[in-house]
Chains A and B, each alone.
Chain A
């Protein structure tokens, strides 16, 4: 299924979707959005590549190993951010009480660990969507051969 219109349109649109997803993730503490929604937008752009070209083009964008490293790294980063708060002498996942740099409220680099955790969550959700999509598509292919 090779459609010229779909391929050219998605090639034009995908960079804007990805920039928008990164914007949503980075501005999670300033505007509506955050790690979950921004990661879903970013993952949807990678799914769009695999849908409009083919699976190999999608896997070339983000390989299985990169995806699983991002997946585990996002969860680990979240946990480690919480452990850093303990190491600094506070409760698990404490933010201002243990002295994460707060900055000026309303600036991009502010809100201490909130921004860090949002970025980790964004990585994690994006790679979750991509991994889920690839695995279901490839499972279907292999199942079709086997049965």
Chain B
């Protein structure tokens, strides 16, 4: 009698776990679907690639392309942007690298 009761309780717990797992899976799928729908919606609303009327084509890229070599001396415009016009941002990137490696050394060397 006690054995049957034990198996019954175990079966109820297993069933509850399985049901909860399934409910969680359905919820996850719904959430991912919702987020994916909004992402696709945003991408569909974006202006077409390479269109000259796009809002990114303002005076800033024009200035970089026309005056970049004159003002920085670099033929490579990407280089002139990341190391001259936006050099402070690149310094931040180097700092991120430095902090990352410092964290790795501090974590792994303590073994």
Please report A residues at the B interface, Cβ cutoff 8 Å.
28-32, 34-35, 71-72, 74-75, 78-79, 82, 92-93, 95-96, 102-103, 105-106, 110-114, 117-118, 121, 124-125, 128, 131-132, 135-136, 138-139, 142-143, 146
Inter-subunit contact A82/B91 (CB<8 Å)? yes
Query: How many pairs, one residue from A and one from B, have CB atoms within 8 Å of each other in the complex?
Result: 104
Q: How many B residues touch A, CB cutoff 8 Å?
A: 28
Provide the main secondary structure of the chain B interface. Answer: helix
Q: Is the CB of A28 within 8 A of B97?
A: no
What is the CA–CA distance of A132 and B71 in the complex, to the nearest angstrom? 37
> Which of B's residues lie within 8 Å of A, judged by CB?
69, 71-76, 78-80, 82-84, 87-88, 90-91, 94-95, 97-98, 100-101, 104-105, 108-109, 111
Q: With A92-B88, A138-B108, A139-B108 in contact, do A128 and B72 touch (Cβ < 8 Å)?
A: no
CB-CB < 8 A to B100: which residues of A?
A: 128
Question: Contact: A111 with B73, CB < 8 Å?
Answer: yes
